[in-house]
Amino acid sequence: MIGATSTMTGGVTAPRGFRAAGVSAGIKADGGLDLALLVADVPATAAAVFTINRAQAAPVVVSREHLGRSGGVARAVVVNSGCANACTGEAGMQGARDMTEQTARLVGCPPEQVLVASTGVIGVELPIAKIRAALPAAMRALAPDQGARAARAIMTTDPFPKESAARTTIAGVDVAVGGMAKGSGMIEPMLATMLAFVTTDAAVPQPLLARALRETVDETFNAITVDGECSTNDTVLLLASGASGAAVDESTYPAFAAALRAVSVELALGIVRGGEGATKLVTIRVSGAADAAEARRAAKAIANSPLVKTAIHGGDPNWGRLIAVAGRAGVAFDLSRAGVTIGETTLFDNGKPYDHNAPRAAEYLKGNDLIVGVHLGAGQASSTVWTCDLSADYVRINADYRT
């Protein structure tokens, strides 16, 4: 028996078999929470997707190594915010390894069963002594009800924490999926300075877990963009404890995948809503593409266009900017069959403008959740990408990020 997916309260510790904690290690100048710990009660099956940026941070390298050595088994994840530990040379690599070794000693597991992630300013030395000193407190604070504190501890410029959880039924057994994420700027996950940690209490064979994560990431975390910037630290981790007693196989995979997608899309949209300086969540729907890859390419080009994003911020229904981006996106495009809609209002269709509809579109753009549609006139494929507007606050935040 396979049940439908429904939302539930909680985050990364909503599934059984996981405890979390969030403490202050003194990395952040304001003394805020900056060290998170996620621990599985027993070794969990694990899968990951990492940044494709070639300037990869030390924790990305170490976590990838550990997953390879453990055969996809993890007992704990340790995360610091306030320092990306990226571009920090051999000292950074040693710091990331030290984080896993100290955590393994406290948890009582091999170091390769500990995964590590960092987020913050690039090129700053990791204050490993502070992390080492704070880890025992994090261990003492571990509890199934501390997921929300862990979600706050991984934040940098995020205006709010991101948590989500869902449940489904597999073979008559309730199964939960939960997660937490951070990300606000340097966001075009391929992945971005985006971290996401997702858990489930189902038992999932590692190949199926890895497949589910890849497919879900492509539809969610890799379908968002704030500023088109791919970070050095992007990581999405998925851990399965098996504590529910329900086992996922090919026959029950769709139910599990649906719950995983429900949690992931909520976390991904939270990242866009909390984008640096963002005031609007914008759904870009591209249709009429020659194939799915071209649809995604055009949607990303539109979503990343500063001209499009500033027009949306200002409430200007400038359909010409959308057509111009679609035409230069490097995909099949037929102007005579192309179209643009803002909300349900048609502004351009089959090569003809409908400027008399502009006032209605401008009124719609005053909202906070917007849908923009572009038809390429070249086929039947489509793609959806989520982005946000570009405001003066984005410039201010990033102009002052290090200073």
Domains of the chain, start order: 6-249 (3.60.70.12), 281-399 (3.10.20.340)
Res 67 pLDDT > 90: yes
Q: Work out the percent of the chain whose per-residue pLDDT is above 70.
A: 95
How many beta carbons lie within 10 A of that of residue 268, not counting itself? Answer: 29
C-alpha Rg value of the chain to the nearest Å = 22
Q: pLDDT-based confidence at 217, cuts 50/70/90?
A: very high
For residue 184, what pLDDT is reported?
67
Res 161 pLDDT > 60: yes
Q: What is the mean pLDDT of residues 80-106?
A: 96
| 115's tokens | 């995964």
Tokens 């189902």, located at residue:
202
Q: Which residues are designated catalytic?
A: 193
For residue 274, what pLDDT is reported?
77
Q: Work out the percent of the chain whose per-residue pLDDT is above 90.
A: 83
Dihedral, 394, 231, 182, 106 alpha carbons, nearest 10:
-140
Res 193 pLDDT > 50: yes
**C-alpha closest to that of 178 among 81, 274, 40:** 40
CA 204 to chain centroid = 22
For residue 1, what pLDDT is reported?
42
Distance spanning both ends of the chain, measured CA to CA: 57
Whether the Cβ atoms of residue 247 and residue 202 lie closer than 8 Å to each other? yes
| 3-class secondary structure, 219 | helix
Distance (Å, rounded) from C-alpha 274 to C-alpha 24? Answer: 23
For residue 276, what pLDDT is reported?
75
Whether the Cβ atoms of residue 199 and residue 178 lie closer than 8 Å to each other? yes
Res 401 pLDDT > 70: no
Element (H, E) at 364: helix 358-364
**C-alpha closest to that of 241 among 75, 115, 112, 71:** 75
Distance (Å, rounded) from C-alpha 256 to C-alpha 388? Answer: 29
pLDDT in tens, 352-366: 999 999 999 999 999
Res 271 pLDDT > 50: yes
Could you tell me where the beta strands, DSSP code E, fall in 207-301?
A: 235-240, 281-289
**C-alpha closest to that of 371 among 344, 397, 351, 353:** 344
Q: What is the mean pLDDT of residues 243-250?
A: 97
